[in-house]
Amino acid sequence: MGVTLNLIGAGHVGRVLGRLFADGGVFALQDVLTRSQSSAADAVAFIGAGQACTELAAMRPAQVWMLAVSDDQILPACAALAAAHDLQGALVFHCSGARGSGELAAARAGGALAASVHPIRSFADPGAVARDFNGTYCGVEGDAGALALLVPAFEAIGARSVVIDAGAKTVYHAAAVFASNYLVTLLDAALRAYQAAGVPEHVARELVRPLAAETVANVLRLGAPTALSGPVARGDHATVARQQQALAAWDGATGELYAALVPLTADLARRKLASH
């Protein structure tokens, strides 16, 4: 437990990782900096280690610095850190899925190694995530020397690391948006369409439940091409055209969403045919 760690930003992600690192003896957590003394104290209480700080200059030197701040604060937070502390030989990393380690250029200029490690989880309930973190995948990229320390550190708290292309970090993060956020949007479109056909909302949810659950299970078990079914997969262009027209008449935005998905689904259908 000799490698020291300072934490800048202690929202849900920072608190969970701080607790796991401290409980596992992976790092010696020193100082926790947030925007206020009370939030820093709350974070320290959740983590169970460290000292609350409200001034960057008051933080002690550390071998590892974790920036668990919002995406738009990574660049200024790193610049402020590099201006306030000697980072020669240190390691600085952030936890964003949308920004790359290039955001830490100021730390690199100060002699630090830089990386990003993005846990692919929802952190809405920090306590639950901390209890069930084992097996969590983390997208990692950055300096080889930084990853040589961080990958084993995250593996020690139960994470699985997957190396990603730093130049495609935004596309990588968009993948999570498709798999989570836009999936909700698509299911909402289905629920609203059922209701437009006279189905009560609570019944519509029960109609969607097996379709959505079985489809997701099939995609994850068989792959997307094999899991695809429906009129596009069958080449039933007349049905697709009627549905698109009906949706456009009912709700223009939902009709546009349907139309936008047809070409991608047709390409998926071609891949399905090619695989057989």
**Residue 245 is encoded by which pair of tokens?**
């027209």
Decide if 64 contacts 146 (C-beta within 8 A). Answer: no
What torsion, rounded to 10 degrees, do the Cα atoms 70, 164, 25, 10 define? 0
pLDDT tens digits for 26-71?
Answer: 999 999 999 899 999 999 999 999 999 989 999 999 999 999 999 9
Closest among 124, 125, 68, 134 to 99, alpha carbons compared: 68
Tell me what pLDDT residue 275 has: 86
**C-alpha–C-alpha distance, residues 49 and 17, integer Å:** 12
In the chain, the domains with their CATH numbers are 4-164 (3.40.50.720), 171-275 (1.10.1040.20)
Q: Which residues of the chain have pLDDT under 50?
A: none
pLDDT tens digits for 220-246?
Answer: 999 999 999 999 999 999 999 999 999
Decide if 160 contacts 135 (C-beta within 8 A). Answer: yes
Tell me what pLDDT residue 122 has: 87
Tell me what pLDDT residue 276 has: 77
Tell me what pLDDT residue 2 has: 85
Exposed e or buried b for every residue in 94-104, given b needs 16+ CB within 10 A?
A: bbbbbbbbebb
Global pTM reads 0.85
